[in-house]
Amino acid sequence: MTDDLLIAADGLGKQFPGVRAVDDISFGVRPGQCFGLLGPNGAGKTTTLEMLEGIQPPTSGRVLFRGRPLDRDFREQIGIQFQATSLQDFQTVRESLAMFAALYQRHADLDELIQLCHLQEILTRDTRKLSGGQRQRLLLAIALVNDPTLVFLDEPTTGLDPQARRNFWALIDRVRERGTTILITTHYMEEAERLCDEIAIVDHGRILIQGRPSTLIREHFPTAILRLPSSAWPSDEPLPANAERRDTSIEIYVDEVPTALEQLEQHGASLIDLRVDRPSLEDLFLKLTGHSLRA
């Protein structure tokens, strides 16, 4: 582990009765980064996050913050937005923020936090009456209430509609502009590509691959993927070497799309339902594991 890391997982493992949830995971997050842990449900993302947060003790390995083991001061320097958080009933948004701020020795300027998370119009609303997007904005503000150096976001946009999800991404951008380091778990690939400087894809408690999203995709795929329904390919024609058959489709990996289209026509393939896609993190995970990232 290098000295320039803000937080690092060093050989982390977590054993539950009959289950090895996390198996020798190592990675580090630099100051100012947005680092993403990706994987399907049950992959070990949340357990890894809880060990980094100091909530769960690791069975093996260690967590280092600024090169040292976690101590009491660590809790004052981090913020956490959990997958599910219960808020006090019969409190307004403003009262909820003030209550959480009182738990810390230092806290952010609440008026600035309200502006940052767009809470101005709902400050007097009962927290039980918030929409999904409004609730997530409040929970992000609570995670930032102590002006943390590092904030953990555990699948923060799960259950949100596409518009609310994109609005939340804009909030994350604003948090990053303040210099806050972010460690996020997600199984939304578009979210990871949009937000993260670096990612680690996790499955069955292990890191399969790690790096910058764009770099990882370039290393494993050509420029484009042509997708055809299986029925569009002539039954008597063998698939090209650069093609793979999925459940109901055929995927062909190419660098030169016009040339590839000419070759498909020569094979007698129907191009009516052809789709040309840029390779994605979802494609990368499928290539590595043989199943969908959201499985």
Give me the pLDDT at residue 1, please.
56
Please tell me the predicted confidence (pLDDT) of residue 2. Answer: 60
By the 8 A CB rule, do 192 and 199 touch?
Answer: yes
- The series of mean pLDDT values per 10 residues for the chain, 295 residues long, is 85 94 96 93 91 95 94 91 84 94 89 93 93 92 94 91 91 92 91 93 92 91 90 89 88 91 91 91 81 61
pLDDT of residue 134: 92
Residue 267, SS3? coil
Q: What are phi and psi for residue 184, nearest 5 degrees?
A: -125, 140
Nearest CA to 86 among 142, 125, 46, 161? Answer: 142
Angle at 30 between CA 280 and CA 186, to 5 degrees: 40
Where do the domains of the chain lie, and which CATH numbers do they carry? 7-217 (3.40.50.300), 222-278 (no CATH)
Nearest to 51 by CA among 92, 85, 23, 93: 23
Q: Which of 125, 135, 192 is nearest to 164 (CA)?
A: 135
pLDDT at res. 94: 95
Provide the pLDDT for residue 292. Answer: 66
Inter-residue contact 262 to 269 (CB < 8 Å): no
CA angle 147, 152, 153 (to 5 degrees): 115
The token pair at 233 is: 């390919």
pLDDT for the residue numbered 294 = 58
pTM as predicted: 0.86
